[in-house]
Structure 1
Amino acid sequence: MAEERRKRATEAFYGRRHGKTLRPKQGAALETFLASALIDLRRDPPSDLTSLFADPVESVRLEIGFGGGEHLLGEVARYPQTGFIGVEPFVNGMAKMAAAVEDAGGLPGNLRVYNDDATVLLDWLPAGALAGIDLLYPDPWPKKRHWKRRFVSAVNLDRFARVLKPGAPFRFASDIDTYVDWTLQHCRAHPAFEWCAASAADWRTPYDGWPGTRYEAKAIREGRTPAYLTFRRTSQ
């Protein structure tokens, strides 16, 4: 079953998997981290997704492409009764997360990760299992010929709709105006999602508890304005 799910993932929505070669200490920290945090998709998903976590949790959220983990680790600490799954295929990003977890004293009991294509994980998850999805500063694939590789698409919104509980949010942040417009168009065209903004302030204001990220700081320095979009999974 796992192999069939992997074959259904038709596009690579991320770029390179590796950056700078990891130092031995980084590699060891990453190996230790993945040994206890990595979700094994070779097994069938549990009927109750909260059972994936060492600590008792009431609900589960997903962050796709967590980068260095600034936002994800902040949410993990703010919401100890929520389980968080973080997806990051970029090895150096996962290594930064591993180092941060090691520095903080060990793996939080409400955190698990996956280090490959998020679509495979989405297809593995049970229907209606998630209380939220965050897609923050994803690769914008700015060239038109690469737009099909943008993670926001009708097919992936179908995936989101399947795994989100009714009323659960899908949050998207980006500093690339063409990708913001793209996401608005796709989500407003999808019957399972409605945009929650009532005024411009709603998408110009960072999310509650937003820590900022290094990507966002770079965007602001370069004169780009971030947008913070929130969509709600409808009951349809």
Structure 2
Amino acid sequence: MTDRYEGSFFGRRKGKPLSPRRTDLMENLLPRLALDLSQPAPADLRDLFDAPVETVCLEVGFGGGEHLLHRARENPTVGYIGIEPFVGSMAKVVAALEEEGLGNVRLYDDDAVNVLDWLPEASLDMAYQLYPDPWPKKRHWKRRFINEQNLERYARAVKPGAEFRFASDIDTYVDWTLRHIRDHGGFRWTATRAADWKSPWANWPGTRYEGKALREGRVPRYLTFLRV
């Protein structure tokens, strides 16, 4: 089976209709918060943000936004780029940013591949991919975001010595990720004991999806890799 897949790595984009307020925010506020990939990326990604930030972190597929918003609140000097194609989730985060006045978040509502290709080389201080779509049926594994090409994209954008963090509750995806990381060679798994991949990262807020996984008896794994 080849890892190459031409097409999106996510499923449906729309769910329930948005409220009038969230529809208005998506039409009027999101364009101001969204990355403009028609323009070259700034040489220094800190220039993307309204707030003065010292470092920049990427989260691919932020889902309900629980983790993205928590990190943005607790780390006002870190700029966060959040990517999520699902309209309802994006609208939730846009509404929270408007209500709380957070100036250290920028957004993108389409395929993360586009952003990874747009970012300057060695420009990210950290990257997260938390509970990506596992595509559990074997015939769909080619749609998993972690593959040789996308790891190369991460490796190009993440600074040497910076962390790439991955979480999943699907054993086959955890094994898949470890194997692809090993074969790629651009990242080193930092775990030295079981607690390193069984325990979440510091100040972990949990996510809605993680809560569902735990209720259904699935066990999350938290993998930390360093860009070498």
Question: Please, what TM-score do these two structures have when normalized by structure 2?
Answer: 0.95
- Determine whether 1:206 maps to 2:200: yes
* 1:207-226 correspondence to structure 2 within 5 Å: 207-226=201-220
* 1:153-192 correspondence to structure 2 within 5 Å: 153-192=147-186
Amino acid at match of 2:23: G
Residue 8 of structure 2 corresponds to 12
Cα displacement (A) at 1:77: 1.4
Equivalenced residue count is 224
Deviation digits for residues 177-220 of structure 1 (CA, Å, limit 9, x no counterpart): 11011001111111111101010000110111110111011100
Amino acid at match of 1:132: M
Match of 2:46 among 50, 56, 70: 50
Match of 1:85 among 78, 81, 87: 81
In the alignment, the residues of structure 1 paired with residue 20 and residue 51 of structure 2 have an alpha-carbon distance, to the nearest angstrom, of 30
Question: Please, what TM-score do these two structures have when normalized by structure 1?
Answer: 0.92
Amino acid at match of 1:137: Y
- Determine whether 1:138 maps to 2:132: yes
Residue 5 of structure 1 corresponds to none
Cα displacement (A) at 1:96: 1.1
SS at match of 2:123: coil
SS at match of 2:128: strand
Deviation digits for residues 35-79 of structure 1 (CA, Å, limit 9, x no counterpart): 321111011111111111111211111000001111001111121
SS at match of 1:135: strand
SS at match of 1:131: strand
In the alignment, the residues of structure 2 paired with residue 79 and residue 38 of structure 1 have an alpha-carbon distance, to the nearest angstrom, of 20
In the alignment, the residues of structure 2 paired with residue 100 and residue 110 of structure 1 have an alpha-carbon distance, to the nearest angstrom, of 13
Q: Alpha carbon RMSD of aligned pairs, Å?
A: 1.2
In the alignment, the residues of structure 1 paired with residue 29 and residue 165 of structure 2 have an alpha-carbon distance, to the nearest angstrom, of 27
Cα displacement (A) at 1:103: 3.1
Unaligned runs of 5+ in 2: none
Match of 1:99 among 79, 95, 98: 95
**Which segment is superposed worse, 76-85 or 153-162?**
76-85
Deviation digits for residues 74-131 of structure 1 (CA, Å, limit 9, x no counterpart): 1111211111100001111101112222332x3x121100111000110000000001
SS at match of 1:167: strand
Unaligned runs of 5+ in 1: 1-8
Match of 1:231 among 222, 225, 228: 225
Amino acid at match of 2:197: W
Structure 1 runs of 4+ with >4 Å offset? none
Residue 62 of structure 1 corresponds to 58
SS at match of 2:124: coil
In the alignment, the residues of structure 1 paired with residue 82 and residue 152 of structure 2 have an alpha-carbon distance, to the nearest angstrom, of 20
Match of 1:38 among 14, 22, 34: 34
SS at match of 2:164: strand
In the alignment, the residues of structure 2 paired with residue 103 and residue 213 of structure 1 have an alpha-carbon distance, to the nearest angstrom, of 20
